[in-house]
Structure 1
């Protein structure tokens, strides 16, 4: 009787150990995929903000920053350090989940705020954030949003 119990215990222990190893391997594969997405080269970062009668796009590339405010386009060169800072902030975001980020406020649904989103191009693929109120991004995008906007933000006329 004792031998049967010992055999059953060993079978249960071996089965649970195998299940745990399989689960850990699945989690590691998911983490590796997310890490691979993060390691892709960031090619462009774009902030769009819109409401009735007003639009604003800011596009960062490795060599320039283009601002388009109501079809008035301004292009300026940026330093490699500035691009590196902005692209590193983008790399801290899980791009595969950027569209699922929850906005902290809902003013854009009733014209109390501009509708904003961030689009990151990495590895030839675009990753678009969920929409959020201008000036109030999801916390995961906050540092990048502030870096894109710079020290001065544009107000609706």
Structure 2
């Protein structure tokens, strides 16, 4: 009888340990999926404007579209270029992008074009505060520089 009770206790202990491990693994898998969803970048757009000049450059996984004073040009986007650009965007804390401060203020007196970055992720659009063209907030600089290389 003592052997039977000891055997049942061992079985119960082992089964509870196995259940805990399954629960932990399930939690880890859910976290990985949530993180992958959080960094899904759908579209990135850079607008730059001043009096008489307006340009919009839009990158999506499939194409690059440039609009200069109303004249539109579209070209295909390579998967490696999109991967590099979307990684730069995913590295930014999108919830704070609208509060990032520009290091200079030349746009207030037409010394520089007014620039804005717009990032769409998981159906939500995040718009940066305005900054001087060529001089974005430091948090946006890697993404902005990638845009400049792809123009």
TM-score, with length taken from structure 2: 0.74
Task: Give the Cα–Cα distance (whole angstroms) in 1 for the partners of residues 84 and 150 of structure 2.
Answer: 15
Tell me the alpha carbon deviations over residues 10-29 of structure 1, each in whole angstroms, 9 at most, x when there is no partner.
Answer: xxxxxxxxxxxxxxxxxxxx
Corresponding residue pairs, total: 119
Matching residue of 2:133: 134
Task: Give the Cα–Cα distance (whole angstroms) in 1 for the partners of residues 37 and 114 of structure 2.
Answer: 26
Task: Give the Cα–Cα distance (whole angstroms) in 2 for the partners of residues 38 and 139 of structure 1.
Answer: 25
Tell me the CA shift for residue 151 of structure 1: 6.2
Q: Which secondary structure state, in structure 1, belongs to the residue aligned with residue 142 of structure 2?
A: helix
CA contact (8 A) 2:63 2:76 kept: yes
Task: Give the Cα–Cα distance (whole angstroms) in 2 for the partners of residues 151 and 92 of structure 1.
Answer: 19
TM-score, with length taken from structure 1: 0.71
Task: Give the Cα–Cα distance (whole angstroms) in 1 for the partners of residues 139 and 128 of structure 2.
Answer: 10
Q: Which secondary structure state, in structure 2, belongs to the residue aligned with residue 117 of structure 1?
A: strand
Runs of 4+ with deviation above 6 angstroms: none
Tell me the alpha carbon deviations over residues 32-70 of structure 1, each in whole angstroms, 9 at most, x when there is no partner.
Answer: 9xx859824100000000111000100000010001011
